[in-house]
Chains A and B, each alone.
Chain A
């Protein structure tokens, strides 16, 4: 089934995930060339709508689109256009009227990309919606795991930290489960959302038990303002109970990979030793992110996987 939008990994099949990851391999190779550009999206226009601050995701999408020769429009829209009385749908329709082909959207409210599918004609890529999903992050995490481990099926992946508010966690859970991994979520009960186990994950409130025997540890960023909502008492205590450091990491397998979607709070959820250590693949995640996003843009732009893959 051709991909029309990419809203959530919940919506797509293991075959579709595989196809994207296979394509991303090809684009990763393109990114290592001296001339890092292919003409596949020449004449297409991609609009990046970022209603929430982002450096790495926005840059990554921009580079990905440019390397495919698309024209890229970057719109960092604060709530000011809403203050002017224009609705979100009107804002996006206005830009769409200038004949764009793809919309990449990040928004602080869950469900916004899905809502747009009913209101605009362009292909939509969700670059993170509220606490819902961040599908390209889930894909690049899986690409990175696959790159290092040569498989996903049968691996045990532990997601550590603020599961409740994390779109990265949800995309990881859907994607990894579809690809046959065992997924654990680890954090204090205040940051584990109700009924998460019904998504097929194991729940741990103890870091060492949660990462015991894990093949991959994906450490999530902790938003410091969560303290004000009484979700944990102090940063010190969070770091003490859930901060991943070299000692705690010993509970995992020796060759356990450490992922983090960034930006890092060094010394809080992850110690500098681990972030920069031999098991860390955090920088490679960023590199791989461009290739994965190229694969997604390529497919949504009407490209066929079999024209590229060997």
Chain B
């Protein structure tokens, strides 16, 4: 079936395209991009007054399957992704069992195909069982389709293992993604160390718990010439380190989550556990630093760290509550509302961080609107207001502090390989 997206403003950062254009889709591929395309056999999607982007890529989600299906499944996660404009996601391996062998990667890929909404890629573990002790079979994971390795949720505290993993990954060209949090410095703390943590009596995770691991891994990347990606950075010190590393030519990239650039630790005064994250919400100064780093390119990627949790995981005492929030559906509205409208990023700059930049880090041939590519396309109205409600979510969980908020930026249609997976048919 042919589809013709007409009258939209097409933003394709790689091709420096930012103009009114039509896109013809045929056989699941982008057949043609150009002005005033006509094709009487194509179903027409009118994007008048809207923007047309390459399908978004989220390189950091938790789909909880297998092991925690009461929080999310690959099906419900795919629904949430499609709802948010994401046609490709990479899911972290902290499932039960962990994604630390070929069979697990194949399971994720098989489930993704069965659901058939979006592309769910697997990230394999760095160490067996995410235990931080022995290397996972990285070659086996890669051959099965893993797009990177990470023990996300935990830092690999043994620097020797990190160094060997980074060296070993060079054979496959895949990135090692680090969750930066020194477990001794973080201890059993649950909030940012600072004024609000002190006032509220919540033990603080100091910024240096993140920064010392970021610094360690940057030096290991310099030593090994390996490919390092730092997940969900949250502090000014971390972005300063990445900025320095990039200047040195070290192969490092970094991501930030929408909640870390939208919220700060003053939100914790409510003790609402939907503000409990790891890394914790940081100070206003850290948030300002993250925005600067997004603008100057130090931060390459916006990734959601979509972390679904059921009510019984969250509606408990602060210390017992699970870390994290869902993020796939709110990512685009937050990018528009917090970054694009206030002028932190231009629209093409923002789109790069959720399309081509993560695609390059994960070695994926996507994130652009080149003719011949899979037709992964998002149609969005950036001026339309969306109200975040529980019903707004495709996810099985609704642990979001943004419920009740009104944000600008509405995803209207999402096309995955030529098929409409979200929006009016």
Decide whether A and B assemble into one complex.
yes
Residues of A within 8 A of B (CB): 10, 87-89, 107-112, 114-115, 129-133, 167, 170, 193-196, 198-199, 229
21 A-B pairs with C-beta separation under 8 A: A88-B317, A89-B315, A109-B318, A110-B200, A110-B202, A110-B319, A111-B271, A112-B318, A115-B271, A130-B201, A131-B201, A193-B197, A193-B198, A194-B197, A194-B204, A196-B198, A198-B195, A198-B198, A199-B198, A199-B199, A229-B187
How far does the alpha carbon of A87 sit from the alpha carbon of B273 in the complex, in Å? 15
Q: Is B320 an interface residue (CB 8 A)?
A: yes
How far does the alpha carbon of A89 sit from the alpha carbon of B312 in the complex, in Å? 11
Q: Are A109 and B194 in contact (CB under 8 A)?
A: no
Chain B's nearest CB lies how many Å from the CB of A164? 8
Q: Are B199 and A109 in contact (CB under 8 A)?
A: no
Residues in A with CB closer than 8 Å to B197 are: 193-194
Q: Is B316 an interface residue (CB 8 A)?
A: yes
Given contacts A193-B198, A195-B194, A198-B195, contact A109 B320 (CB under 8 A): yes
Q: Are B202 and A194 in contact (CB under 8 A)?
A: no
Partner pick for B202 among A10, A107, A114, A131, CB 8 A cutoff: A131
Chain A's nearest CB lies how many Å from the CB of B99? 29
Q: Are B318 and A115 in contact (CB under 8 A)?
A: yes
How far does the alpha carbon of A40 sit from the alpha carbon of B324 in the complex, in Å? 47
Q: Are A110 and B201 in contact (CB under 8 A)?
A: yes
Contact mask B254-293 → A, CB, 8 Å, 1/0?
0000000000000000110000000000000000000000
Given contacts A194-B193, A194-B194, A198-B195, contact A170 B201 (CB under 8 A): yes
Residues in B with CB closer than 8 Å to A89 are: 315-316
Residues in A with CB closer than 8 Å to B201 are: 110-111, 129-133, 167, 170
Given contacts A111-B271, A195-B194, contact A87 B315 (CB under 8 A): yes
How far does the alpha carbon of A196 sit from the alpha carbon of B201 in the complex, in Å? 11
How far does the alpha carbon of A229 sit from the alpha carbon of B195 in the complex, in Å? 22
Identify the interface centre among B193, B206, B270, B319: most chain A CB within 10 Å of its CB: B319
How far does the alpha carbon of A114 sit from the alpha carbon of B318 in the complex, in Å? 11
Q: Is B203 an interface residue (CB 8 A)?
A: yes
Chain B's nearest CB lies how many Å from the CB of A235? 22
Chain B's nearest CB lies how many Å from the CB of A221? 16
> Who on chain A is nearest to B199 by CB?
A199
Given contacts A111-B271, A115-B271, A193-B204, contact A87 B316 (CB under 8 A): yes
Residues in B with CB closer than 8 Å to A109 are: 317-320
B residues 325-345 touching A (CB-CB < 8 Å): none
How far does the alpha carbon of A273 sit from the alpha carbon of B193 in the complex, in Å? 38
How far does the alpha carbon of A199 sit from the alpha carbon of B194 in the complex, in Å? 11
Partner pick for A107 among B195, B199, B317, CB 8 A cutoff: B317
Chain B's nearest CB lies how many Å from the CB of A265? 22
Chain B's nearest CB lies how many Å from the CB of A4? 17
Residues in A with CB closer than 8 Å to B194 are: 194-195
Given contacts A87-B312, A111-B271, A115-B271, contact A10 B199 (CB under 8 A): yes
How far does the alpha carbon of A89 sit from the alpha carbon of B201 in the complex, in Å? 21
Identify the interface centre among B197, B198, B202: most chain A CB within 10 Å of its CB: B198
Q: Are A88 and B316 in contact (CB under 8 A)?
A: yes
> Who on chain B is nearest to A196 by CB?
B198
Residues in B with CB closer than 8 Å to A229 are: 187
